[in-house]
Structure 1
């Protein structure tokens, strides 16, 4: 039998202990079950994904298409930086 030591944030450890207690499980049992599942399935037993790039979100792509349509239709306004700064101070 091997002992494994891990570091957890205090608040996360407390929340995990409370959740596991409600399930009738200890932290040691939880990690034992997790390890057995990972070894049986030969993978981490949950999906790990990077957050998607918000640039490609549905709402942003819709807004980009709308802007592109406006450019195609000639619905644009051209201002210099000086003109924009003057508008800002108005």
Structure 2
């Protein structure tokens, strides 16, 4: 069995570990599943996209901003770049 070492952002690692814990698998098992799928399908097994708009982090920030506007904690203002 081979050993692979690589660097990952601490926060990404923590979030991934939480997800894998929720699923009930280890980080090692998840990476092995990924690599086996790459080999079997001869490709990266998901679509790569440069559009981060719908990321969990961005959607969470947008929901929080909407809540703050609804609760009167923030006020919407016009911006010179955005046409109304």
Report the TM-score range of the alignment, normalised by the length of the smaller protein: 0.5 to 0.7
**Structure 1: 5+ residue stretches without partners:** 52-90
Moved over 6 A (4+): none
**Structure 2: 5+ residue stretches without partners:** 52-84
TM-score by length of 1: 0.54
Between the two proteins, the alignment pairs up a number of residues equal to 51
Bigger radius of gyration among the two: 1
Superposition map of 1:9-88 within 5 A:
9-51=9-51
Structure 2: how far apart are the matches of 1:12 and 1:50? Answer: 18
Structure 2: how far apart are the matches of 1:49 and 1:13? Answer: 21
SS in 1 for 2:36: helix
TM-score by length of 2: 0.57
CA root-mean-square deviation: 1.0
